[in-house]
Structure 1
């Protein structure tokens, strides 16, 4: 009966989000109330659980995601993103242009949210397609693949960061494992699959983007741009490596733990970016503050949706549904990684939103980590992979891709939806393979 109530809650979530088009945050809170009451929890305990779930989830994540958004906005507004993209394209040349676009998307994907990176890079993709006389999708699909992978797999992006918090996973290890899985996924979904899309030759869309073109003098240098953008990656990665190779009492471990902490790593990157992308470029502190303020507007609703997912997770915990899920796993031979992926994938197909699917799946499968001893970092990546599968008409990202690349619905299903599915399946395969060696 308890699991049936959870199933009814998911059906209600599907109706609210997909059918009634209700905001994801409001939908998650309503479903949390619905499930809590039906599970027999006192009404005041339901409310307390929701408040606890929201508070515990946002306590650390608000800082990490907030600092990440500030870093990305500072990078974009000073021309640093354009500098990285144009430099890599010039180095690779038109012959290997897909690899330049993939590498650009992957690097910028660490600092920029998917939608921001997509709109930011689209003018460059259009320019390349025209200059090289290539189909726009042949150039643009690898860019979208790399941005999608970083969005779904790698901290400090909201989805994987939030799931890592739910699973108590180490951010640094999640990042390192995620990079290992992301590289083959990007290659297969990007340059490899794009070869099968060359016959979709659509005209470059006109008037769908309005991107400021920075002059060479306005942009910061390539080295300083890329080093500043990747500071969180370096610091969190070094922390994970230090924890793997240094003994527990080593003097350097405390420093690695401090500077590699996701909050400190992203904060340090923002402070450096304020200088390299702001003060050093002749921008006033007022202009820099305006950029930082604007960055928070982008993530406000994302944070609320994550908070709603945290509330739903807490209801599942406080109503002791985790005990039923644990007992169910005792009688199942299914890999917890596969189960987590399947639940996230089904929710993604039904709900559309990758973030809502990931947060809901995270709350459902969290008990499996303690029961099975599976790596929490791989569980983060498994849920993240499942939450990307087969984007279709109920996903805003589907329509973003369709309109900007001037495609029909059928062409978008053949390109974007299949591309996302390749990433999702590659992510699962990577998790299962890593589980055998770590």
Structure 2
């Protein structure tokens, strides 16, 4: 089949996936598999080879990130019930004060708390953020909502073990330690600069509280947090939980990330040690983190509460695993069609154009589909074969795809509506803080990515 025909069929497959999701409300998992089937058959792979590419692509991704996602989500579920997030935000407020809390909170969300599923993390942190907003003056809601949106969305795609970051690293075969290091290089300045840019704009007349904010509810009549009643000893467990040292609660997660980073450093230094290699492998490192978190949870909230947390985490992880897996289906079929060789004829390795193309493709997909994860996975899968052809470091393609997938979080995004309702914004206000704020971060992130392309 001609190169032109393969390019046309690939474009049709991607367009079909978007239409199925947006127009016909197909589940993204089904839409991605159908698109993969069409591409394989239309590109001349034949029925057997198409099915093989789809199943092997799914299996390859699951082999790389299945356990990582499960361990990360389970760890986050236990931390949630330990009230670790609320206490961390409170500690940040005391440490940096109201003026710097938006930056501190966003950087913490983006770099440190990505083991927790985004919607869960947002639901936990939003009430605390809204309480803080009242202490920041006229533009408090705008500043804190923008910080939450930027921190949460950037963390998904740039920070291990964020769901998007794990998927991008797996699709492009980037070692997680490597992605962890370069992701931090990108995400820290991106979050800091983006919030500063948005704060300048919002406080110079762009934010109008009278039309961009909803009236505050009567907090005096707000219901108190429910008290779990699981039998004898529950009250004592809750009391003890409040006394758990905050650093202790996050120690297992910190140890996991340090172990993964140590493994990456050992690879760079070409230092071989069987013990270090074993404990620094991402699966083992996150498993140790989960075991440590469960042990601490058992000590402070009791075994029944920990088991309940793990059950909830298992339910949350199912959809995430399937969505990431079917991204591998599309990537597997694309690899078999030879798209990488075709695209490689039109770009040179010393050009910035391929990275901008990755960003643009992810941005267009995100505008159409409305999902950061789907757009990042699809764009990375489309251009993954391009990396070996050009000699580009795959981590650059992964980061560029992640940056592009952040562009224009809008009305089709669940995160958009959660931020609107939980932070007391109107739709107009959320378009400013969430859509504009995360779009600024999407563009800013390409600065560090392009800078890295000069040295990586």
Q: Secondary structure at the match of 2:258?
A: helix
Contact 1:188 1:422 in 2 (8 A): no
Alignment of 1:278-297 (within 5 A): 278-284=297-303, 286-297=304-315
Mapping of residues 269-308 of structure 1, within 5 Å: 269-276=289-296, 278-284=297-303, 286-308=304-326
Work out the CA distance in 2 between the residues paired with 1:60 and 1:210. 44
Name the SS for the 2:345 alignment partner: helix
Cα distance in 2 for partners of 1:331, 1:275 equals 49
Paired residues of 1:9 and 1:34 also in contact (CA < 8 A) = yes
Structure 1 residues without counterparts, runs of 5 or longer:
none
From 218, 243, 254, the equivalent of 2:241 is 218
* Whole-angstrom CA distance in 2 between matches of 1:391 and 1:178: 20
Q: Distance in 2 between matches of 1:412 and 1:63?
A: 35
**Alpha-carbon distance in structure 2 between the residues aligned to 1:234 and 1:118:** 25
Q: Are the aligned partners of 1:142 and 1:194 in contact in 2 as well (CA < 8 Å)?
A: no
Report SS of the residue matched to 1:155: coil
For the 8 Å contact 2:186–2:448, the answer to whether it is kept is yes
Aligned to 1:31: 35
Distance in 1 separating the partners of 2:425 and 2:144: 14
Matched, 1:55 2:56: no
Structure 1 residue 400 corresponds to structure 2 residue 405: no
Q: Is the CA contact 2:240–2:300 (under 8 Å) kept in the aligned structure 1?
A: no
Whole-Å separation in 1 of the counterparts to 2:375 and 2:223: 31
**Residue segments in structure 2 that go unaligned for 5+ positions in a row:** 228-237
The 3 A distance-change label for structure 1 pair 211 and 39 is farther
Instruction: Show the counterpart of 2:394.
Output: 376
Superposition pairs for residues 217-256 of structure 1, below 5 Å?
217-219=240-242, 220-244=244-268, 246=269, 248=270, 250-252=271-273, 254-256=274-276
Where does residue 367 of structure 1 map in the other structure?
385
Superposition deviation, residue 79 in structure 1: 1.3
Task: Encode CA deviations 1:97-150: one digit per residue, 9 max, x unaligned.
Answer: 323423442354332222221111011112122345453222232122212211
The answer on whether the counterparts of 1:337 and 1:378 sit within 8 Å (CA) in structure 2 is yes
Distance in 1 between residues matched to 2:174 and 2:349, nearest whole Å: 26
Q: 1:76 to 1:216 in 2, by over 3 A?
A: same
Q: Distance in 2 between matches of 1:46 and 1:403?
A: 44
CA distance in structure 2 between the partners assigned to 1:175 and 1:205 by the alignment: 39
Counterpart position of 1:114: 118
Partner of residue 345, structure 1: 363
